[in-house]
Amino acid sequence: MTTTTPEAIHAARPTEDGDGVKIQRIHDFNGRLDPFLLLDELKASAQEDYIGGFPPHPHRGFETLTYLIHGGLTHEDSMGNRGEVHAGAAQWMSAGRGVIHSEMPLRDSDGLHGFQLWVNLPATRKMDAPRYRDVHGSEMATTEREGVSVKAIAGSWTGSFGSVQGPLPAIGDGAAMADVRLAPGTRLAIDVGSGERLLAYVYAGSLSETLTEGQMAVWSDQERIEMAAQDGASLLLFRGTPLREPISHHGPFVMNTPEEIEQAIEDYRTGRLATHPQSVA
């Protein structure tokens, strides 16, 4: 099995968000990751690097999926939802026309390692009602074969490992996400639908000398993507069909036009975007 050369490789950059939380970020609001927008990796052992968390803040026009490898977070939002996510579990939220939420580390967490993905919504769904769901680790199906482990978080996955379906039917507009572990010397093939794009973010180990920890590979217009891990690797896979719509972005808002962004800012300022519930105010 040969490996499929990616069309692009993006490196995560260090930054801070929320109340001083140190993260590694890859983002592109120009369509090169379409339908995906942003991936944050939160990985900290020192409490001061993550304990401030993400106090109440708004979103409109896209979905988020938070997935934890280690530690825990508490989520509260303007829909009245409150939940905890622990290692191996996830939280999905479709902001739609507007939501205010917070994500705060559990005080008894010994470090934090997780990810937040932003997935764009098509113009016809950006003003839908917001939605939220906790996804427990026990709901996620995992298939293992010849040193390859594929855990489906969202959508269905097929390839050299067989097939596996995640508890979330899809994220965004039919996109999918999986957590993959490759033992040293193993190979993996992923089937990709017509017109779909595949992203692979390596969070431990490496797939090659040019695709190492903290980097994301991008493939488009391929029917099957083949990769190998000489020394072992852990990676997140994301698959989806590009929306190919205009993207207008400002902070926590992702819409199609600057005018829609201005309206989102005004709606948040005047309290029309969502109501601050007392629990997250």
For the segment 244-255, what is each residue's pLDDT rounded down to a tens digit?
999 999 999 999
Euclidean distance between CA atoms 190 and 241, whole angstroms: 15
The residue ranking higher by pLDDT, 210 or 9, is 9
In a domain, 34, yes or no: yes
- The model's pLDDT over 183-236, given as tens digits with 9 standing for 90+, comes to 999 999 999 999 999 999 999 999 987 899 999 999 999 999 999 998 999 999
Q: Can you give the residue range of the structural domain that contains 73?
A: 8-245+254-269
What is the percent of the chain where pLDDT is above 90?
89
Per-residue b/e over 157-168, b at no fewer than 16 CB within 10 Å?
bbbbbeebbbbb
Calculate mean pLDDT across residues 87-99.
Answer: 97
In a domain, 276, yes or no: no
Long-range contacts from 48-51, C-beta under 8 angstroms, 24+ separation: 48/20, 49/20, 49/21, 49/22, 50/21, 50/22, 50/105, 50/111, 50/112, 51/105, 51/107
| Among 16-20, 96-100, 154-158, 195-199, the least confident range | 16-20
At 47, is the secondary structure helix, strand, or coil? helix
Per the structure, how many domains does the chain have?
Answer: 1
The span from the first CA to the last CA of the chain, in angstroms, equals 54
Residue 280 clears pLDDT 70, i.e. is over it: no
What is the percent of the chain where pLDDT is above 70?
96
In a domain, 1, yes or no: no
- The model's pLDDT over 95-148, given as tens digits with 9 standing for 90+, comes to 999 999 999 998 766 789 999 999 999 999 999 999 999 999 999 999 999 999
pTM: 0.95
In a domain, 186, yes or no: yes
In a domain, 21, yes or no: yes
Task: Return the pLDDT at 214.
Answer: 97
Task: Return the pLDDT at 172.
Answer: 97
Task: Return the pLDDT at 281.
Answer: 35
Calculate mean pLDDT across residues 72-92.
Answer: 94
Question: The domain that contains 112 carries what CATH number?
Answer: 2.60.120.10
Q: Judging by beta carbons within 10 Å of its beta carbon (0-12, 13-18, 19+), is residue 232 exposed, middle or buried?
A: middle
In a domain, 275, yes or no: no
In a domain, 146, yes or no: yes
Average model confidence (pLDDT) for the chain?
94
Task: Return the pLDDT at 1.
Answer: 53
- The model's pLDDT over 39-58, given as tens digits with 9 standing for 90+, comes to 999 998 888 888 899 999 99
In a domain, 274, yes or no: no
Which of 200, 238, 241 has the alpha carbon at shortest distance from 217? 200
Task: Return the pLDDT at 278.
Answer: 45
